[in-house]
Amino acid sequence: MTSSRNEGDLDQASLDLFIAGDESRSASRTDETEPRSPKEVAPDSSDPLRDISRLEELAAVAVECRRCHLRETCNAVVFGEGNPEANLVFVGEAPGADEDRLGRPFVGRAGKLLDKIITASGLARQDVYITNIVKCRPPGNRTPDEGERNFCIPYLHAQMRIIQPEVIVSLGAAATQGLIDPRARITRMRGTWQQWRGIDVMPTFHPAALLRDPKKKIPVWEDMKTILGHLGLSDGEEPG
C-alpha cells in the first residue's frame, strides 16, 4: 500500500510541476540555439498527461497551467470544442481577442469563415473538433513563438491521443510548424499530405489569410475536397 501511494504522489507531483512550469527553464529558453521540435518531446511513458483519458479532465488541467507567461495576460484558456470522437480536427495557431473574451476557439471573423467551410463540406461544427496549438492569447494577437508552442504542445498531443482523429487540418504556418516542422512554410507545404504520430495531416491556409486575400479560398477548397475524399465523404459545395 505504501509503495502504491508513493507512486500516486509522484504522478501528481509531476503533473503539478508540468502545469506550474519551471521559471528557470522558461527564462533560459531564449538562450537555446536549437529548441526541441514537437517531434522530440519525451515518450508517452514520461508524459505527466498520459493518464488523462477524458477531454474534460484535460481541460481542467489546462486551465491551471502556468508553464509560460501567456496565462498572466489572457482572460481565458481556450482549450477547444467539438465532437470528442471526431474524425476531422482543425488546429489553428492561438486564440484571438474574440476567442479570449468568449473562451471558445474560432468565433471571430476567421471563425465564421471556418464555419462556412465546414458547412459547405456537408458537416456541422459539432461534427468536428476545433482547437489551437497554443491555448492562451498572445498579447496583441501576435503569432506565438516557438518556445510558447513547445510549452503548450503537450496539451494538443493529449487531445489528439484522446480523440484519435483520422485527419488533422493544420491551419496556417504556426500550426503546421508546431505539428510537422518548425521550419515549415505554409505556401510550400499546403495541399500535401503529411504525417504526425500516425495521423494524416493536411496543411492549408488559415481562414484569416483568406480574409486578407480571398484568392486563397480556391486552394483551401481544393484541400478540403481532398480531405473529404480521403474521409470517404462527398465533395460538398464550394463556399462563397
Residue 79: predicted pLDDT: 97
Residue 146 confidence class, pLDDT cut points 50, 70, 90: confident
The answer to whether residue 239 is domain-embedded is no
Note the Cα 219 to chain centre separation in Å: 22
Number of other residues whose CB lies within 10 A of the CB of residue 4: 8
Res. 225: pLDDT tops 90: yes
Note the Cα 5 to chain centre separation in Å: 34
SS3 category, 200: strand
Domain CATH number, residue 166: 3.40.470.10
**Mean pLDDT for all residues in the chain:** 84
The answer to whether residue 238 is domain-embedded is no
Q: What's the mean pLDDT in 169-196?
A: 95
The answer to whether residue 75 is domain-embedded is yes
The answer to whether residue 117 is domain-embedded is yes
The answer to whether residue 236 is domain-embedded is no
Res. 5: pLDDT tops 60: no
Residue 47 confidence class, pLDDT cut points 50, 70, 90: confident
Domain count, the chain: 1
| 177 Cβ contact list (under 8 Å, min separation 6) | 146, 149, 183, 184
The residue whose grid cell reads 495531416 is 201
Residue 33 confidence class, pLDDT cut points 50, 70, 90: very low
Please give the torsion angle defined by the CA atoms of residues 120, 136, 55 and 164, in that order, rounded to the nearest 10 degrees.
50
Q: Which domain holds residue 216?
A: 2-230
The stretches of 104-181 forming alpha helices (DSSP H) are: 109-120, 146-163, 173-179
The answer to whether residue 106 is domain-embedded is yes
The answer to whether residue 240 is domain-embedded is no
The phi-psi region of residue 122 (left if phi > 0; otherwise alpha if psi is between -120 and 50; otherwise beta) is: left
Counting residues of the chain whose pLDDT is more than 70, the rounded percentage is: 78
Q: What's the mean pLDDT in 173-199?
A: 94
The model's pLDDT over 49-81, given as tens digits with 9 standing for 90+, comes to 888 999 999 999 999 999 899 999 999 999 999
- Cα 15 to Cα 144: distance, rounded to the nearest angstrom: 24
Residue 95 confidence class, pLDDT cut points 50, 70, 90: very high
DSSP string across 101-120: HHT-SS-SHHHHHHHHHHHH
Q: What's the mean pLDDT in 1-28?
A: 48
The answer to whether residue 18 is domain-embedded is yes
Tell which wins on pLDDT, 55 or 11: 55
User: Three cell numbers at 40?
Assistant: 522530440
Q: What's the mean pLDDT in 36-50?
A: 52
Res. 13: pLDDT tops 70: no
User: What pairs with residue 199 in β-bridges?
Assistant: 196
Residue 221: predicted pLDDT: 96
Q: Are 135 and 62 in contact (CB under 8 A)?
A: yes
Estimate the share of the chain in helix, then strand, then coil, as percent rounded to the nearest 5.
50, 10, 40
Q: Which candidate, 198, 153, 190, 159, places its Cα nearest to that of 173?
A: 190
Residue 44: predicted pLDDT: 55
